[in-house]
C-alpha cells in the first residue's frame, strides 16, 4: 500500500444543482483506488476553497491488500457546499459539526440528541409496543408512542369479508449501529403481536436515522410476510404516532400534500367563511397557520359563538389507486364523513401542529406503492394520532393466493408442457409468498410551530428526491470498480449512434413505467418481461412473460447505465428496482430462504427458485453508492446461500439423471454459470465487506477448481462439496447453456480477474469466451465436436470483445462488432427502435410501443454495448452506423 498516495475524489449532487438547504444531511458511498487509503479515519471532505467540511466516514469494503475500497460518508443538515471533494488529510484538519449527534444507552432505552431534537427509543419488551417513546424539539414533546400497527382477517374476502384482528409491534432488540457525530443509526427488530392473543407474525426491522443539526428522522421500515396465503388476508399495515396538542382548536392545523406541490390546509375549527367575521387579522393568521389573537380580542359575535362552530377531529387521505385519492373528514366517531377534496396523486405527507410544535410524517413513493392511506384521529383532543398506512385499511384485503388452480399440471411432464405454451414454470405449492419482504422509507419531521406551505413543499421534494452526493462517473471508472465499463463518450459518430440507442431504450422504459402503471405495493420497481403487439400491452397475464424479476440482468443494465452517465432519472429507476427485486423477488425466511423467483404473473409464483435472482450482483452497486444499511442486510442474508442446493434442486425438471440424482452435501449439482456466478458475487461481497474468511476461501478455492477442470467453464455443471466449499476437479464434461453468462457471470468474472491474481482462472474464462463465439469448425477442432446451446449471439459478443481486449486481437474485435450488429437470433437492431404511438379506442389511454423490444433484449443489448465500447470501442468500425433494415 502506498501510504503517501494522493487522493482527490470530486463529488457531485445527483440532481445537478446543490440544494439551498440540506434538511436531513446526506449519506453516500465512495470508491477509493486500490492501495490509496489505509483507514477511513484519514478521509476528509473539503469545499472548493480547501476548507474542511464536517463529515463522517466509515469502511464499506476493502481491497484484497487491505486498503479501503469503498467508504461510507455522511454530512449533517445545513447549507451544503456547492461542490466538494474527498481527500486524504492530516487528522488535525478535521472539522466538527456545530450540532453533533450524541447517543446514550441505558437499561431504559436509547436516547439520541443533536441539539435540535431529542429521541427516546424504547427498550425491548415495553407493553405498549412503542418503538420511539418520545420525540422532543426543545422542551416540547411533538411526538410520542410511535409504533407499528397491522390487522388481518382470516375469512376469504369474496365470502363477505370477516372480522379484522388488530396487531401492534413488539420490540425485541435494539442495536446502535452508528453513533455519530454526524450520523446516528439505531436498528430495531421485532414482530407484530395480536392485541387479543399470543400470535406473532410479520417480523420487522426498523432503522431510525438522525443527522447532525437535523429536525427530521428517517425511518426505514422492512417486514417479512410470513402468513398463510389461504388464511391470512392483510387489511392494514402502518406506522402510527401520538401528537400532543396544546392550543385552541382554531390554532391546530392539518396539512395533506396533494398533487404537484399542492396542499389541503385547514384548521381543526375553521373561522373563515362564517356568517360573522372574526376580523381580518384572525382570518389571515389562521390561513397562514400562525397563532391567532386571543379570542377575547375577536369580534364578539364570533367569540361568543365559537363553541357552535364544528371541530373536525378526524381526517383521512386514501390513495387506493395510482390515479386517484380522496380526502374526507368528520367531527368524530359515530358521525358521517364529509368529502374535503380529491385528486390524482398525493405526495404522501401529512402535517399536524399548533403554534408550539407538531410533526410532519411522509412516505416516500406513497402513490407509487398504493394502496396507501394517511389517517389523523383525535385532533380535537389533547393527544391526536397520525398513522401512515403502508397498506390502506380502506383497500380490499391483501390477497396473496396463487392465481390459478394448476390446470392439471401434477407432474413434471405436464409442467414442461405448460412451459411450452405460457412460458410458466408451474409446480403445485411453489407459488407461495411466505418469506418475501418489503421496505418503505418514511420521514418524521419535528416542527417547532406550524410550518408554512412553502416549507412543506420543500419537505415533499426532499422526501421523494432526497439530496444525494455521488462520485462522478470519471472517478468511479478511475477507481477500477465493477469491471468493464466506461463513461459515456460521443466523440465519434459510430459511438454516438450506439449511445443514442442506449438512451432511447432507457427513455422508453422510463416512460413505460408511467404509461403502463407499473405501480403497487408488491409491484413498484419492477418492469415487464415481454410485449404482446396484438393487444398493444405487455404480457401481464401470460405466464413467464409477465413481471421480469431480474431476468437477464435488467438491474445490471440500469446500474451500469447510471455508473457511466450519472443520470438521476436512471438512478431512481434502478433504486426502485433494487428495493423491489431484493425484497419481493427473494425469500428471506422459510424453506426457500436465500433463493429468488423466476419471472411470472406473480413475483413469487414461478416454481423456479434460484440463486440467479437473489444474487448480490444485482444489489451491491446500490449498496456501495449509498451505504444503505437495509441492502447491506440483504447481502448478509446470502452468505450461506450455497446451502440452498440441499433444499431445492434447480434442475430437477430437466436433468438427464433426474431419476437418480438426490441432493448430497458432498456432491451437489451446481451450475458453473448462473449458480456459481451468484455464489462468486456472494462470496466476494462478504469477503470485501467484512473480511469473512469462509467466503474468501470458497471464492478462491472454487476459482482454482474451475481452472483445474479439463474443460473449465465449458464443463457447465460442477460437483460441489458443501462442507469443503470446493468442486470436484476431475469432472470432464461439456455442457453449454446460453443462459450461463447473462445473469452476472460476465461482470463478476471480469471483476475477479482484475481484482485477484489467479492466472489459470483468467485463462479458463478467456477460453470459454473464445470458444462460445467461435465457429463450429473451430469448436470441433479443439473440443471434438461443435458446441450445442449457442444462442444470444448479440449478448455474447462481449465475450469476444473480452478476448480481443485481453489479447489485442483486431480480428476478434471485428467479429465481436459483427456479432453485436447483425449476427444470430434474439437480436435487437437499433434501426428498429422506433416508437409508435397507439391511441384509444385500441388502448385504455395513449401509449408508446416499440414492436421489436423485449426486456431480455433491451438489457442484454445494452450491457453488450456498454462492455464492448469499454473493451474495444477504439476498434469500432466506422461503418457500424450503417445498420441493416430490421
Per-residue pLDDT at 95: 86
Cα-Cα end-to-end distance for the chain: 53
Residues β-bridged to residue 652: none
Query: What are the contacts of 290-299 at 24+ separation with CB within 8 A?
Result: 290/355, 290/450, 291/247, 291/251, 291/355, 292/250, 292/251, 295/248, 295/250
pLDDT of 167 strictly over 60: yes
Per-position DSSP letters for 52-63, written without gaps between them: EE--EEEEEEE-
At residue 127 the predicted structure's pLDDT band, cuts being 50, 70 and 90, is confident
Summarize the confidence of residues 593-598 as an average pLDDT: 98
Summarize the confidence of residues 227-252 as an average pLDDT: 97
Q: What is the DSSP letter of 777?
A: H
At 811-849, the pLDDT tens digits run 999 999 999 998 677 788 888 899 999 999 999 999 999
At 752-779, the pLDDT tens digits run 999 999 999 999 999 999 999 999 999 9
Least confident of 2-6, 105-109, 698-702: 2-6
- Cα separations in angstroms, 93 against 32, 46, 53, 75, 349: 20, 10, 10, 16, 40
Residues β-bridged to residue 469: 13
148 in Cβ contact with 204 (< 8 Å): yes
The three three-digit cell numbers of residue 485, written as one number? 465499463
Q: How far apart are CA 858 and CA 609, in angstroms?
A: 24
pLDDT of 1 strictly over 60: no
Burial pattern 669-689, b for ≥16 Cβ within 10 A else e, equals bbbbbbbbbbbbbbbbbbbbb
What HEC string does 385-439 produce? Answer: EEEEEEECCCCCCCCCCCCCCCCCCCCHHHHHHHHHHHCCCCCCCCCCCCCCEEE
Per-position DSSP letters for 563-594, written without gaps between them: HHH--HHHHHHHHHHHHHHHHTTB--SSTTTT
Block residue for cell numbers 457546499: 81
At residue 135 the predicted structure's pLDDT band, cuts being 50, 70 and 90, is very high
Least confident of 245-259, 735-749, 870-884: 870-884
Q: Which helix (H) or strand (E) element contains residue 256?
A: strand 253-257
pLDDT of 4 strictly over 70: no
Q: How far apart are CA 435 and CA 359, in angstroms?
A: 34
**Residue 358 half-sphere exposure toward CB, CA atoms < 13 A:** 29
Taking the CA atoms of the chain, what radius of gyration do you get in angstroms? 29
50 in Cβ contact with 207 (< 8 Å): no
525 in Cβ contact with 843 (< 8 Å): no
Nearest alpha-carbon partner for 620 in 695, 527, 682: 682
Residues 6+ away with beta carbon under 8 Å from 127 = none
Q: What are phi and psi of 784, to 5 degrees?
A: 95, -20
Summarize the confidence of residues 179-189 as an average pLDDT: 97
pLDDT of 5 strictly over 80: no
Per-residue pLDDT at 657: 83
- Cα separations in angstroms, 327 against 73, 340, 362, 573, 703: 40, 5, 16, 29, 59
The three three-digit cell numbers of residue 488, written as one number? 459515456
Listed by start position, the domains of the chain span: 8-93, 110-243, 270-309, 639-790
Nearest alpha-carbon partner for 789 in 768, 814, 810: 768
Block residue for cell numbers 428495493: 579
Summarize the confidence of residues 12-24 as an average pLDDT: 95
The three three-digit cell numbers of residue 411, written as one number? 407432474
Max distance between CA atoms of the chain, in angstroms, equals 104
C-alpha of 807 from chain center:
38
Report helix angle 568-583 to 493-515, nearest 10. 60
Per-residue pLDDT at 879: 54
Q: How far apart are CA 79 and CA 443, in angstroms?
A: 20
CATH of segment(s) 110-243? 2.70.98.30
At 548-563, the pLDDT tens digits run 999 999 999 999 999 9
Burial class (CB in 10 A: 0-12, 13-18, 19+), 407: middle
Per-residue pLDDT at 282: 98
- Cα separations in angstroms, 137 against 198, 356, 376, 624: 36, 10, 21, 33
Q: How far apart are CA 520 and CA 599, in angstroms?
A: 17
At 701-715, the pLDDT tens digits run 999 999 999 999 999
At residue 92 the predicted structure's pLDDT band, cuts being 50, 70 and 90, is low
Q: What's the angle, vertex CA 276, arms to CA 274 and CA 278, rounded to 5? A: 90
222 in Cβ contact with 204 (< 8 Å): yes
Nearest alpha-carbon partner for 112 in 98, 93, 132: 132
**Which ranges constitute the DSSP H helices of 638-734?**
644-647, 674-690, 693-708
Least confident of 87-91, 219-223, 376-380, 562-566: 87-91
Q: How far apart are CA 208 and CA 214, in angstroms?
A: 13
Per-position DSSP letters for 451-501, written without gaps between them: PPHHHHHHHHHHHHS---EEE-HHHHHHTT-SSS------SSHHHHHHHHH
pLDDT of 42 strictly over 60: yes
Nearest alpha-carbon partner for 751 in 671, 674, 820, 683: 683
Three-state DSSP at 696 gives helix
At 708-746, the pLDDT tens digits run 999 999 999 999 999 999 999 999 999 999 999 999 999
At residue 91 the predicted structure's pLDDT band, cuts being 50, 70 and 90, is low
- Cα separations in angstroms, 447 against 285, 337, 636: 18, 28, 37
The three three-digit cell numbers of residue 42, written as one number? 484519514
For the chain, the residue count is 886
Is the preceding omega at residue 100 within 30 degrees of 0, hence cis?
no
Cβ neighbours, 10 Å, residue 361: 27
Report helix angle 674-690 to 629-637, nearest 10. 120
**Which ranges constitute the DSSP H helices of 649-785?**
674-690, 693-708, 745-755, 759-772, 776-783
Block residue for cell numbers 390487522: 151
Per-residue pLDDT at 817: 97
Block residue for cell numbers 425466511: 589
Q: How far apart are CA 117 and CA 447, in angstroms?
A: 10
pLDDT of 29 strictly over 90: yes
Q: Give me the percent of the chain exceeding a pLDDT of 70.
A: 98
Q: Mean pLDDT for the chain?
A: 95
Per-residue pLDDT at 805: 98
Q: What are phi and psi of 506, to 5 degrees?
A: -60, -45
For CA atoms 184, 186, 187, 188, the dihedral sign is negative
Amino acid at each position: 500500500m502506498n501510504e503517501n498516495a494522493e487522493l482527490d475524489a470530486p463529488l457531485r449532487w445527483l440532481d445537478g444543482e446543490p440544494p439551498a438547504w440540506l434538511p436531513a444531511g446526506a449519506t453516500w458511498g465512495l470508491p477509493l483506488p486500490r492501495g490509496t487509503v489505509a483507514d477511513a479515519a484519514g478521509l476528509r471532505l473539503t469545499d472548493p476553497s480547501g476548507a474542511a467540511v464536517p463529515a463522517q466516514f466509515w469502511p464499506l469494503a476493502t481491497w484484497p491488500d487491505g486498503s479501503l475500497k469503498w467508504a461510507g460518508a455522511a454530512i449533517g443538515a445545513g447549507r451544503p457546499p456547492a461542490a466538494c471533494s474527498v481527500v486524504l488529510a492530516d487528522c488535525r484538519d478535521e472539522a466538527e459539526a456545530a450540532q453533533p449527534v450524541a447517543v446514550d444507552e441505558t437499561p431504559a432505552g436509547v436516547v439520541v440528541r443533536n441539539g435540535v431534537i431529542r429521541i427516546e427509543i424504547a427498550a425491548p419488551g415495553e407493553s405498549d409496543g412503542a418503538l420511539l417513546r418520545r420525540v422532543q424539539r426543545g422542551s416540547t414533546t411533538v411526538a410520542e408512542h410511535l409504533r407499528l400497527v397491522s390487522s388481518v382477517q382470516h375469512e376469504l374476502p369474496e365470502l363477505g369479508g370477516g372480522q379484522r384482528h388488530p396487531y401492534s409491534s413488539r420490540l425485541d432488540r435494539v442495536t446502535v449501529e452508528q453513533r455519530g457525530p454526524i450520523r446516528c443509526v439505531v436498528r430495531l427488530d421485532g414482530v407484530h403481536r395480536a392485541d387479543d392473543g399470543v400470535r406473532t407474525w410479520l417480523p420487522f426491522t426498523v432503522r431510525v436515522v438522525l443527522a447532525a443539526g437535523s429536525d427530521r428522522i428517517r425511518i426505514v421500515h422492512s417486514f417479512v410476510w410470513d402468513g398463510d396465503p389461504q388464511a391470512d388476508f392483510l387489511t392494514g399495515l402502518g406506522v402510527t404516532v401520538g401528537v400532543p396538542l396544546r392550543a385552541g382548536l382554531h390554532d391546530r392545523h392539518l396539512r395533506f400534500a396533494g398533487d404537484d406541490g399542492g396542499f389541503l390546509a385547514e384548521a381543526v375549527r375553521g373561522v373563515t367563511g362564517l356568517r360573522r367575521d372574526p376580523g381580518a387579522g384572525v382570518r389571515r393568521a389562521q390561513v397562514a397557520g400562525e397563532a391567532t389573537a386571543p379570542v377575547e380580542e375577536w369580534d364578539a359575535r364570533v367569540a361568543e359563538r365559537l363553541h357552535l362552530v364544528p371541530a373536525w377531529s378526524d381526517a383521512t387521505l386514501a390513495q387506493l389507486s395510482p390515479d386517484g385519492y380522496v380526502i374526507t373528514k368528520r367531527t368524530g366517531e359515530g358521525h358521517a364523513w364529509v368529502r374535503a377534496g380529491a385528486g390524482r396523486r398525493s405526495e404522501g405527507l401529512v402535517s399536524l401542529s399548533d403554534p408550539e410544535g407538531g410533526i410532519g410524517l411522509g412516505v416516500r413513493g406513497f402513490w407509487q406503492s398504493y394502496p396507501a392511506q394517511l389517517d389523523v384521529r383525535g385532533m380535537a383532543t389533547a393527544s391526536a394520532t397520525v398513522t401512515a398506512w403502508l397498506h390502506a385499511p380502506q383497500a380490499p384485503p391483501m390477497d396473496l393466493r396463487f392465481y390459478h388452480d394448476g390446470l392439471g399440471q401434477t407432474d413434471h411432464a405436464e409442467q414442461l408442457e405448460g412451459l411450452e405454451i405460457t412460458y410458466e414454470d408451474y409446480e403445485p405449492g411453489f407459488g407461495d409468498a411466505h418469506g418475501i419482504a418489503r421496505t418503505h422509507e418514511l420521514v418524521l419531521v419535528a416542527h417547532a410551530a406550524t410550518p408554512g406551505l412553502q416549507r412543506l413543499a420543500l419537505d415533499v421534494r426532499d422526501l421523494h428526491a432526497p439530496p444525494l452526493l455521488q462520485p462522478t462517473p470519471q472517478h468511479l471508472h478511475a477507481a477500477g470498480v465493477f469491471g468493464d465499463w466506461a463513461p459515456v463518450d460521443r466523440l465519434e459518430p459510430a459511438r454516438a449512434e450506439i449511445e443514442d440507442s442506449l438512451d432511447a431504450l432507457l427513455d422508453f422504459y422510463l416512460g413505460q413505467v408511467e404509461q403502463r402503471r407499473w405501480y403497487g405495493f408488491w409491484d413498484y420497481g419492477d418492469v415487464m418481461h415481454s410485449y404482446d403487439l396484438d393487444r398493444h400491452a405487455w404480457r401481464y397475464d401470460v405466464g413467464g412473460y409477465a413481471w421480469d424479476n431480474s431476468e437477464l440482468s435488467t438491474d445490471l443494465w440500469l446500474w451500469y447505465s447510471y455508473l457511466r452517465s450519472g443520470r438521476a432519472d436512471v438512478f431512481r429507476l434502478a433504486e426502485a428496482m433494487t428495493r423491489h427485486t431484493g425484497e419481493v423477488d427473494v425469500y428471506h425466511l422459510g424453506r426457500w430462504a436465500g433463493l429468488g423467483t423466476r419471472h411470472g404473473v406473480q413475483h413469487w409464483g414461478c416454481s423456479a427458485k434460484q440463486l440467479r435472482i437473489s444474487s448480490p450482483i444485482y444489489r451491491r452497486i446500490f449498496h456501495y453508492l449509498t451505504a444503505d444499511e437495509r441492502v447491506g442486510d440483504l447481502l448478509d442474508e446470502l452468505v450461506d446461500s450455497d446451502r440452498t442446493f440441499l433444499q431445492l434442486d434447480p434442475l430437477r425438471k430437466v436433468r438427464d439423471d433426474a431419476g437418480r440424482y438426490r441432493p448430497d452435501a458432498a456432491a451437489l449439482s451446481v451450475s458453473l454459470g448462473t449458480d456459481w456466478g451468484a455464489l462468486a458475487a456472494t462470496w466476494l461481497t462478504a469477503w470485501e465487506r467484512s473480511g469473512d474468511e469462509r467466503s474468501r476461501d470458497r471464492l478462491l478455492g472454487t476459482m482454482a477448481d474451475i481452472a483445474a477442470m479439463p474443460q473449465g467453464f465449458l464443463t457447465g455443471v460442477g460437483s460441489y462439496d458443501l462442507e469443503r466449499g470446493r468442486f470436484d476437479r476431475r469432472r470432464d464434461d461439456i455442457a453449454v447453456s446460453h443462459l450461463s453468462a447473462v445473469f452476472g457471470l460476465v461482470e463478476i468474472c471480469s471483476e475477479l480477474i482484475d481484482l485477484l491474481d489467479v492466472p489459470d482462472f483468467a485463462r479458463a474464462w478467456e477460453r470459454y469466451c473464445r470458444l462460445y463465439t467461435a465457429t463450429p469448425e473451430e469448436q470441433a477442432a479443439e473440443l471434438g465436436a461443435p458446441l450445442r446451446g449457442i444462442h444470444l449471439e448479440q449478448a455474447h459478443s462481449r465475450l469476444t470483445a473480452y478476448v480481443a481486449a485481453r489479447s489485442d486481437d483486431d480480428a476478434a474485435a471485428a467479429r465481436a462488432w459483427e456479432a453485436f450488429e447483425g449476427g444470430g437470433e434474439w437480436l435487437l437492431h437499433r434501426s428498429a427502435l422506433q416508437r409508435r404511438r397507439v391511441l384509444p379506442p385500441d388502448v385504455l389511454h395513449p401509449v408508446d410501443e416499440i414492436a421489436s423490444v423485449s426486456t431480455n433484449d433491451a438489457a442484454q443489448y445494452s450491457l453488450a454495448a456498454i462492455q464492448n465500447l469499454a473493451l474495444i470501442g477504439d476498434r469500432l468500425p466506422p461503418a457500424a452506423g450503417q445498420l441493416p433494415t430490421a
